[in-house]
Structure 1
Amino acid sequence: MESVSLRPYARLPRAHAGREILHSTVDAFGRAHWLLAEPGRAEVYDALVVSVDDGQAQETHLSAVTARFPLLDALPEGGFVVADARRRGDADHVQVFDALGRVSWSFAVGDAIEHLLADESGDLWVGYFDEGVFGDDPLSVPGLRKWSVTGEPLWELPLSTAGGCMADCYALNADRSTAWAYYYTDFPLVRIGGDGTARVWESPVGGAKAIAVSDGGAAFFGGYGRDGDRLVVCTLAERTAAPYLHTTLVRPDGSPIGPRRVVGRGPRIHVQAAPYTAWEVWDLGESG
């Protein structure tokens, strides 16, 4: 089976090699960001966000970060959101920083965050893993929620969704005002429109870790065990995602990906292989 190669996308400048990479992402506008701190950070610490856009790097210093297991994303008007994946008791565990790196808001969105994606309007899409869905924090129970950047709950996945109840959000894609989710146990592909309505397709694979969507098509990347680098490209029919290509995604040099982070944004699947200093990308819209 012929493989498909990622292409280089963005790289952390070498000047920051001595810092610990706490998290990294690609935002709604295609900018890559790294959250960095000095090794041995305290419970409350200062951090540095390095943003790379079209090869140009910019630094933002964040003051008094509290997240132990941080997830980062950028906001459209400048500034950043940092969430702790695990919430301690009833603590506020999401911090919103302004463009100067100062905390402007803090609030809670629930325990066991798997995905945190800001869309182009600045609203936050949050997907939870199973310890949140079945845990003691009621904010996490729906499995997928949308929040305002000031912590106002805007939407949650209804129990009546045709794809069934969510036990674990495996993949999330936020593009413009639309979000796409893929989750355990039945692994449906669910599109949530700007008005909050959900449309569901049956997917052909289980265990994928990222999804891409474009012009009536969808792609599923990842899987269990030996399917970790699997890429399945589909046409979206009335009720099903019908596969027409099964292949393997590889690094630009043809090597296996290995440990990675993944972010789905519209038609793109962004992949960051260990040691997490560079993002690479595959684009469904360019797949022919």
Structure 2
Amino acid sequence: MPSFPRAHHDRHVLTSTVDVFGTAHWLLADRAPQPGDSLPFEALVVSVHPGGDVELTELSAVRARWPHLDRLPDGGFVVAASRARRYEDADQVQVFDALGRETSSFSVGDAIEHLLVDEVGSIWVGHFDENPAGIRRWDSAGHLSWTSDDASIPGLFDCYALNVSGTTAWACPYTDFPLVEIRPGRTDRPVQVWTNRIRGAKAVAVHGERVAFYGGYGEERDRLSHGEMTETSVAPTAVGLLTLPDGSLPGFRRVVGRGSRIYVQAQPFTAWGAFDLSS
């Protein structure tokens, strides 16, 4: 899996992600954010493609100290502040072109838990419990194109897990933790819901009728639970632990769900590993 190039180890990693096409990205600044730092600042995105090729993109005038990052299909990037309170609404989400120039900005609302771009450039946002908006989809110009408001998703107070692959999203939200499939372009049943007994998962992977949930509460934070989708529910089939290649547990980590894969990045956040449900 992609590793962070050593040539850039002197820079501070603000965040990192894996896009819908399997390319890993690291957003870098000269140093860690400090109270009282002035905004905006210059940043660098280091992209490592699945074949190992490295690409650098300088972003001008980034305004999010603790950002989310993802790449658009045209080669541009989306950078978003997870909290909107300290920013002007119009500045929360910045869209940059492939040359690193800001082309638009807009707000998607406070309390971003997940921000993932799909293969056609739609921006999926899952909120945590300080924003009741749930799950929404935006285009890169800031127009809202789908919302969970009328989707009848039970207990959607916090989007614990969000997986975006192709143009489909899968979610596992608090408090009821159902498995939810969202296909806004489908005219019949754009949202499907399966009841689920696995609580607290922070990432989900789906392959055919098989599903895996990663994470949980307390001692179950590294739990990997497998299940099979029936007509109305997820039937548990196995449970274990997700470990790093050396056999250790990830501990504090970042996770990204993309289709059948759960990408995991443990400290010091210089490499991504992947669990693939299809293998």
> RMSD across aligned C-alpha pairs, in angstroms?
1.2
Equivalent position to 2:75, from 69, 73, 78 = 78
| Alignment-mate amino acid for residue 199 of structure 2 | G
Matched, 1:31 2:20: no
- Cα distance in 2 for partners of 1:34, 1:203 equals 34
Contact 2:155/2:176 (CA < 8 Å) preserved in 1? no
Matched, 1:256 2:245: no
Equivalent position to 2:181, from 183, 191, 197 = 191
Q: Give the equivalent residue in structure 2 for 1:200.
A: 193
- Cα distance in 2 for partners of 1:156, 1:238 equals 24
Equivalent position to 2:266, from 265, 270, 273 = 273
Contact 2:26/2:45 (CA < 8 Å) preserved in 1? yes
| Alignment-mate amino acid for residue 151 of structure 1 | G
CA shift, 1:17, in A, is 0.8
- Cα distance in 2 for partners of 1:234, 1:167 equals 23
Equivalent position to 1:91, from 89, 92, 106 = 89
Q: Give the equivalent residue in structure 1 for 2:121.
A: 122
- Cα distance in 2 for partners of 1:186, 1:11 equals 36
- Cα distance in 2 for partners of 1:231, 1:169 equals 19
- Cα distance in 2 for partners of 1:40, 1:125 equals 27
Matched, 1:245 2:206: no
| Alignment-mate amino acid for residue 154 of structure 1 | S
Matched, 1:148 2:139: yes
CA shift, 1:204, in A, is 2.3
| Residue ranges of structure 1 left out of the alignment (5+ in a row) | 1-8, 134-140
SS in structure 2 of the partner of residue 23 of structure 1 = strand
CA shift, 1:160, in A, is 5.0
Contact 1:159/1:165 (CA < 8 Å) preserved in 2? no
SS in structure 2 of the partner of residue 158 of structure 1 = helix
SS in structure 2 of the partner of residue 121 of structure 1 = coil
CA shift, 1:90, in A, is 4.8
Residue range with higher mean Cα deviation, 83-92 or 60-69: 83-92
CA shift, 1:68, in A, is 2.0
Identity %: 52
| Residue ranges of structure 2 left out of the alignment (5+ in a row) | none
- Aligned positions, number: 269
| Alignment-mate amino acid for residue 72 of structure 1 | L
Q: Deviations over 1:50-82 (max 9, x none)?
A: 000121111000000001220000011111000
Equivalent position to 2:216, from 223, 230, 240 = 223
- Cα distance in 2 for partners of 1:214, 1:40 equals 38
Compare relative contact order (CA 8 Å, sep 6+) and give the higher one, 1 or 2. Answer: 1
TM-score by length of 2: 0.94
Matched, 1:168 2:166: no
| Alignment-mate amino acid for residue 17 of structure 1 | H
| Alignment-mate amino acid for residue 55 of structure 1 | G
CA shift, 1:217, in A, is 1.1
- Cα distance in 2 for partners of 1:90, 1:38 equals 24
| Alignment-mate amino acid for residue 212 of structure 2 | A
CA shift, 1:158, in A, is 2.9
Q: 1:202 to 1:44 in 2, by over 3 A?
A: same
- Cα distance in 1 for partners of 2:258, 2:195 equals 20
- Cα distance in 1 for partners of 2:84, 2:151 equals 27
Matched, 1:12 2:4: yes
- Cα distance in 2 for partners of 1:195, 1:99 equals 28
